[in-house]
Chain A
């Protein structure tokens, strides 16, 4: 089964607006991680939220986790053109805190200046 499905698949906004991306997963998790990928590049770790946390902030990023709904959201506030990238959620195997990651399908975010 697909772990980590995200919506929207693509999001286009103007600079200064907020961007919200959602991720759903199917099995139990210990943590959920969000990564960013610029076109043709590797991944950069953004933020990790553990299963006992509901919300986490890092700069302009806000991540929420709802384990009852098996979903997470990533909010980027006051977006900038430089935020244009693909964003993926990822989870380690159920019940573990680290190890191989299963990635969601990703959201392609375009921020227009």
Chain B
């Protein structure tokens, strides 16, 4: 089955530093990937839609300068949390949809837990 990986699985950083999270589709191509954020015991909130070769589309209320998204290839999207602060601590999950078919379902990565001290 289709697999999506994320790296790192968890990261602890100091306030003010930037953190990059990678999302990879391992055995399929994905022109579109999605980035979600999840707080403890809460649901997933869509942050942005990552489009290969073009700018990401951000959801209302999500700062695009704070959460930089780059989708440089058909198998890789990155989310960079710039100048991270403790309130950015969260669980970040990506998902990808296979490009070749009009597939209704998405494949999710295992998530990245970010803790900003």
Chain A residues engaging chain B, CB cutoff 8 angstroms: 31, 33, 35, 40-45, 48, 88, 92, 97-106, 108
Contacts and interface: CB of A to CB of B under 8 A. Distances in A.
B44 A103 contact: yes
A104 B42 CA distance: 9
B104 A102 contact: no
Measured as residues with beta carbon below 8 angstroms from the partner, the interface class of chain B is: 20 to 34
Contacts of A102: 46
B34 A100 contact: yes
Interface string B72-112: 00000000000000000001010101000011111111110
Interface of B: 4, 6, 32, 34, 36, 41-46, 49, 91, 93, 95, 97, 102-111, 113
B91 A40 contact: yes
B106 A45 contact: yes
A42 B43 contact: no
Contact of B104 (A35, A44, A98, A106): A98
B49 A100 contact: yes
Contacts of A31: 104
Contact of B110 (A35, A42, A88, A104): A42
A92 B46 CA distance: 12
A42 B46 CA distance: 14
Given A41-B111, A45-B108, 7 more contacts: A35-B108, A42-B6, A42-B109, A97-B104, A101-B34, A101-B106, A106-B42
